[in-house]
Amino acid sequence: MTNAAARYSSKVFHLSSSLSLLLAICFLVLSKQLFAAEKWQGNKVNFSITESQNVANDSISITFTRVAEGTSAQTVANEINQQMQAAIRALKTYPDILTETTQYNIHPVYKKSVISHWRGSQNLILTLENKPGLVKILAKIQPYLAYQSMQFGVSTELKKEIMAKLTDRAIHSFRTRANRIAQGFMAPSYKIIETNINTPNYQKPRPYMARTEMAMASADMVSPTVKAGESMLKVTISGSILLPN
């Protein structure tokens, strides 16, 4: 074979390959368009369902605070730190209690545009199970910190358990509703084309504010009368189904 013939044969081969590639691309594009058209043929119906449940609050958060005043910021800081550390040490016999310090601030107090003294505060939040024994815990903290408030809620473990059950119920309800919609439109079948599962944060109850005497209570104080109440947990599934023409 001559060089000219070889070059001509090579050009034909490359041209044939390019045409084959172009035809393959066109086929894929056309197939996708036809698939998309076929996919969305029918009556699209959007709807949502919600499953909810009231759950007894099994967790309690108690907030204590320490306020200090002094002639300098360092003096105030030292007092707050010492009392806060003492309170945390007093809770070592309760390993199941979660402790969190918040809102630490120290600022000057002015009198006639001149610093009169310094004031500071810090909060300690205790999170524990809602069960008997609350008075003993309060008595441990009272010598160092002042009681501020308590708030009830659902523990993480219980919330996970309930939300899992609600999700299962919501999925079942979604499919049941889809079947009912298909039957109502006299469609032989339906196809789920989109779903969104929403688990919004539940609204916590308002904090319980105890009476003033509680802040000055001693170890022999009577247990405060409080009601834990309930929180509502819910799962919402929204989505779309396709009813064939």
Domain assignment of residue 108, yes or no: yes
Please indicate, yes or no, whether residues 174 and 161 belong to a single structural domain of this protein.
Answer: yes
Domain CATH number, residue 233: 3.30.110
SS3 percent helix, strand, coil of the chain, rounded to 5, is: 40, 35, 25
Please indicate, yes or no, whether residues 64 and 53 belong to a single structural domain of this protein.
Answer: no
Domain assignment of residue 129, yes or no: yes
Residue 83, CA distances (Å) to 138, 141, 144, 219, 241 in order:
15, 10, 5, 18, 61
Last residue of a domain, one of 153, 183, 201: 153
Domain assignment of residue 25, yes or no: no
Please indicate, yes or no, whether residues 189 and 133 belong to a single structural domain of this protein.
Answer: no
Count CB neighbours of 63 within 10 A: 19
pLDDT digits (tens, 9 = 90+) for 149-167: 889 999 989 999 999 999 9
What domain range includes position 74? 60-153
pLDDT digits (tens, 9 = 90+) for 72-109: 999 999 999 999 999 999 999 888 899 999 999 999 99
- Does the pLDDT value for residue 36 go beyond 70? no
Please indicate, yes or no, whether residues 111 and 133 belong to a single structural domain of this protein.
Answer: yes
Please indicate, yes or no, whether residues 132 and 159 belong to a single structural domain of this protein.
Answer: no
- The model scores a pTM over 0.75: no
The encoded tokens of residue 109 equal 């107090």
